[in-house]
Amino acid sequence: MNTTTRPPIVAVMGHIDHGKSTLLDYIRKANVVAGEAGGITQHLSAYEITIPYQGTNRRITFLDTPGHAAFTGMRERGAVAADIAILVVSAEDGVKAQTIEALNTIRNAKIPFIVAINKIDRPGANIDRTKQMLAEQEVLVEGYGGNISWVPISAKEGTGIDELLETILLVADIEELTADPSVHAEGIIIESRLDAKRGITATLVVKNGTLKKGQFVVAGTAITTTRIMENFLGQAIPEADPGTPVQLVGFDSLPDVGVPVKVFNKKRDAEDFVEEMENVKKDDEVRTKEGERVVPIIIKSDVYGTAEAIEREIKKMHVEGVHIKIINKGIGAIGEADIKQAQSDKEVIILGFNVQLDKSARDIQEKVGATIQTFDIIYKLTEWLETELEARRPRIETREVIGTAKVLKTFSKTKERQVLGCRIESGSITDGAKVSVIRRDFTLTTGTVVELQQAKHKVKEVIDGECGILVECKNDIAPGDLLEAFIFQSK
């Protein structure tokens, strides 16, 4: 092991109007050399800064990604891109719905965070009221009954930014973020896109090890070489050490955001790994198709935290023969895009919580015929969904014999209808019943009882003795054949 301290990877979260972008822009402009900043021709989703701290120069990597992309990942594998979050809250507006949503996302990621109370330069700023609103969300900052670090700032004026950066490094030191640069790189995809000129590109942040030229990177089932490897300034680099954001060009398919990357020295090893991943994916798909009915679900809620809570409740459900698949969850009204997604698969269910359909969605809902339900109580939602899934559960039909009759004589035959003289052997034969025609223990054909007669009278059922049976079937029936009447029962 060659362990060393690595730069913290920081994500900025909060309400869209509370100054996230302004904060990131100020940090970037104040800490990236002017000439270099002017040379950035392509905006990447991550960048590095270097600042003096306790007699040394220290690096910090910021993730500049929309919404929750910084936290997207294989959480079951413990892979989260950011080490530290900054929760930006306006001193004017205080805690808003998106603030709570961001807070829930940070808590689910289980990483430390710093509260940046922004817009302290505004006339309506009220820091104490903002702290009180945070306390109502169980966020107790230092000096207000808790130990969560907070910094008053003005992202517009630059006030408090240096203190915020120092606080980030202080928290990073407490967390003891380390890495081993001598091993193969490990990281997470934080952005991917199709560039018209360069092909498929992706930005990843290295969390451990060193990524070098000449290696091969696998993200999910997408693969590329490190032949074109650039830093956040768009400059070619020979390697990327822990904490570094890097752009790779030339993936053979678009990697998913949040996917961990695996690095190989040989192309054959990388291709073998991709093939293995594809086989696992196919096996999962086949298993689902063979044994279960897939029901895709879209969740829309007023806040992201509630959407995640609903997802957890849904994943607890177990309906035999049904595979529940959450294909999307988000906040806001149910929109046209949600309806169109449901249109592509008639099995899709859209669940809304404390939200309604917007006008565009309402206009096309009837045409599409999508299954949409909205609720304001979670247990009502889960009750309805359990009933709906039970109704969609694939039924297993079992064949139950209800009676047998032996053919004694055959009479007239018209097209596919034949009159038979029979004797009841067991059970009963009913009008309209399905029958199998059995000859010497072999099922010759199947047919339907069209009419029953006993003692020259039409009857609905015969339970014993001799009777006349009009059977509709394709094959000729002969004396000695056995008619076996049956029904199907669903379970």
Q: Alpha-carbon distance 11 to 29, whole Å? A: 17
Task: Identify the pLDDT of residue 61.
Answer: 93
pLDDT recorded at residue 291: 60
Among 100-114, 194-208, 440-454, the range with the most confident prediction by mean pLDDT is: 440-454
Beta-strand runs (E) in 68-215: 84-90, 113-118, 150-152, 178-179, 186-195, 199-208, 211-212
Q: Give Cα 184 distance to the centre of its chain.
A: 29
Look at residues 178, 209, 236 and tell me which one is the last residue of a structural domain.
Answer: 178
Mean pLDDT for the stretch of residues 352-373: 82
How do residues 294-327 score in pLDDT, each as one tens digit? Answer: 888 999 887 766 777 888 889 888 888 888 888 8
Look at residue 305 in the predicted model and tell me its pLDDT: 64
On whether both 310 and 352 belong to a single domain, the answer is: yes
Tell me which of 117, 144, 178 is where a domain ends: 178
Q: Quick one: pLDDT band at residue 248, thresholds 50, 70, 90?
A: very high
User: pLDDT category, 256, cuts 50, 70, 90?
Assistant: confident
Q: What percent of the chain is modeled with pLDDT above 70?
A: 90
Q: What is the pLDDT of residue 360?
A: 73
Question: Among 53-62, 130-139, 334-343, which is the least confidently predicted range?
Answer: 334-343
In a shared domain, residues 50 and 141: yes
Q: Is the pLDDT of residue 38 over 60?
A: no
Asked if residue 30 and residue 147 are part of one domain, the reply reads yes
Share of the chain above pLDDT 90, in %: 48
* d(C-alpha 193, C-alpha 285), whole Å: 26
User: Out of 117-126, 213-222, 317-326, 462-471, which region has the weakest mean confidence (pLDDT)?
Assistant: 317-326
Does residue 58 share a domain with residue 118? yes
Task: Provide the residue count of the chain.
Answer: 491
Domain boundary among 392, 408, 434: 392
SS3 state of residue 24: helix
> What confidence score (pLDDT) does residue 66 get?
53
pLDDT at 43: 47
Domain containing 79: what range?
4-178
Question: Which segments within 145-259 are labelled E, that is strand?
Answer: 150-152, 178-179, 186-195, 199-208, 211-212, 216-219, 222-225, 229-230, 239-240, 245-251
pLDDT computed for residue 6 by the predictor:
93
Considering only 4-8, 40-44, 231-235, which range has the smallest mean pLDDT? 40-44
For position 215, what pLDDT does the model report? 95
One domain for residues 282 and 296: no
Same domain as 132, residue 11: yes
Position 79 scores a pLDDT of 47
Q: Mean pLDDT across the stretch 324-331?
A: 81
What's the domain count of the chain? 4
Residue 105's domain is classified under what CATH number?
Answer: 3.40.50.300
Higher pLDDT, 171 or 74: 171
Average per-residue pLDDT for the chain? 85
Confidence of residue 285 (pLDDT cuts 50, 70, 90): low
Q: Is the pLDDT of residue 407 over 50?
A: yes
User: Minimal CA–CA distance to 83: which of 300, 242, 249?
Assistant: 242
Q: 59-79: string of b/e by CB count within 10 Å (b at 16+)?
A: bbbbbbbebbbbbbbeeeeeb
Mean pLDDT of 197-213: 91
Q: What is the pLDDT of residue 35?
A: 44
pLDDT tops 70 at residue 158: yes
Q: Read off the pLDDT of each residue in 229-257 and give the average, rounded to a whole number.
A: 89
Instruction: Spell 358-380 as b/e; 16+ CB within 10 A means b.
Output: eeebeeebeebebbbebbeeeee
Q: What average pLDDT score do residues 258-287 get?
A: 80
- Is residue 23 within 8 Å of 64, Cβ to Cβ? no
Q: Model confidence at 344, in pLDDT bands (50, 70, 90)?
A: low
Q: What is the mean pLDDT of residues 335-359?
A: 81
Same domain, 144 and 259: no
| 216 shares its domain with 271 | yes
Q: Is the pLDDT of residue 221 over 80?
A: yes
Residues contacting 379, CB < 8 A, separation 6+: none
- pLDDT for position 359: 79
Confidence tier at 151 by pLDDT (50, 70, 90): very high
213 and 106 within one domain: no
Alpha carbon 291 to chain centroid, angstroms: 21
Q: Please state the rounded mean pLDDT for residues 183-200.
A: 86
**Stretch 239-268: mean pLDDT, rounded?**
89
Tens-digit pLDDT profile for residues 110-130: 889 999 999 999 999 999 999
Structure confidence at residue 32 (pLDDT): 65
Does residue 462 register a pLDDT over 90?
yes
Same domain, 54 and 151: yes
Mean pLDDT of 384-401: 86
Query: What CATH number did the domain enclosing 272 receive?
Result: 2.40.30.10
Q: Identify whether residues 387 and 405 lie together within a single domain.
A: no
Q: What's the rounded mean pLDDT across residues 82-105?
A: 88
The mean pLDDT value for 192-216 works out to 89
Q: Chain-centre distance of CA 379, in angstroms?
A: 22
Of 127, 131, 52, 116, the C-alpha closest to 85 is: 116
Looking at the fold, whether 130 and 14 belong to one and the same domain comes out as: yes
- Residue 487 CA to residue 446 CA, distance in Å, equals 12
b/e per residue, 141-151, with b = 16+ CB within 10 A?
beeeeeeebbb
239 burial (CB, 10 Å; 0-12 / 13-18 / 19+) is middle
Take residue 457 and report the two structure tokens written for it.
């009278």
Q: When comparing pLDDT for 436 and 290, which is higher?
A: 436
Is residue 70 over pLDDT 70? no
Give CA torsion, residues 366, 371, 377, 380, to 10 deg: 130
Amino acid (one-letter) located at 335:
G
Higher model confidence: residue 285 or residue 234?
234
In this structure, are residues 471 and 452 in contact, taking their beta carbons and an 8 Å threshold? Answer: no
3-state DSSP assignment of residue 60: strand
Higher-pLDDT residue of 108 and 93 is: 93
Q: What is the mean pLDDT of residues 84-111?
A: 87
